[in-house]
Structure 1
Amino acid sequence: MSDGLDVSPLEGDDDPGVDPVALERTAQRAATDLQRVVARIARPYLRLLHQGKLGHWVPAPTWRLLVDIEEQAFADPGFQGRHAAAIRNGFARLADSRLTGPDLDARVDWQHDDDPLPAVYAIMRALVHEFGADASSNRNPD
């Protein structure tokens, strides 16, 4: 799975002072941090998915929901403070992709496999599938 982070323009091939291993570690820390931030922001929706396990109807996520989560995640003061702008700007973003299409209220199509996937799309897809797998494996067959 692509983590939505493209460090290639940051690699510093022209700058001998940049350590590519340290840059990769920094990028990985930012990706892990973004996953935590997105999960925290998406928690209310993920709670709804949990309720779906209990037989409640749960609306499918829309592109608008993902765009809103992305905006909140990248505007999070903690995330901004922990990672340099160059690292934050290295993430593929929904705002810069054509994945969403013109109708933001349409259901999200989780079948995309563009490279690189927007980071929030990839994170949310994993979370939704994880909750979906939990929901189907924990359903009472009665």
Structure 2
Amino acid sequence: MESKTTPLLDNQLCFALYSTGLAMNKVYRKLLRKLDLTYPQYLVMLVLWERDGVTVSDIGARLFLDSATLTPLLKRLETAGLVARARSNLDERQVVVSLTDAGRAMARDAAAIQEQVLCAAACPPDDLAALKRQLEQLRGKLAADS
């Protein structure tokens, strides 16, 4: 017999977020295969396409990742010839990440990905924008409590 206090998987917000994240990553994995990027690498590239020449700590803050997670990602992107890392002239402790010509050129190939994800979601753009805002608010509240 089921107790009213027994937690049910289908009632868990965390599982809805987790399983949706898995489904979203599956869509991105298929689309990013053409670019030979993983999803976390794609996120780093998005940051750099938006603003080139930023520090590792700036990238980490933007993506909510620590340097221990970012360093291997950046090394793989550097090995692939998409980014270059160099010590800052202003502060040797800082590492600045910049796009290479190949990394900048990849932005053109990646431009269609967002539209393809919207098509895969098969939701009205206004609904997706509202959902995104709600998730950002939730993330902010959860981060404030931790």
- Asked if TM exceeds 0.5, the reply is no
Higher RCO, 1 or 2 (CA under 8 Å, sep at least 6)? 1
Work out which of the two has the higher radius of gyration on C-alpha atoms and give 1 or 2. 2
TM range (shorter): under 0.3
Per residue, is there more helix in 1 or in 2? 2
Structure (1/2) with the larger strand percentage: 2
TM-score if structure 2 supplies the norm length? 0.27
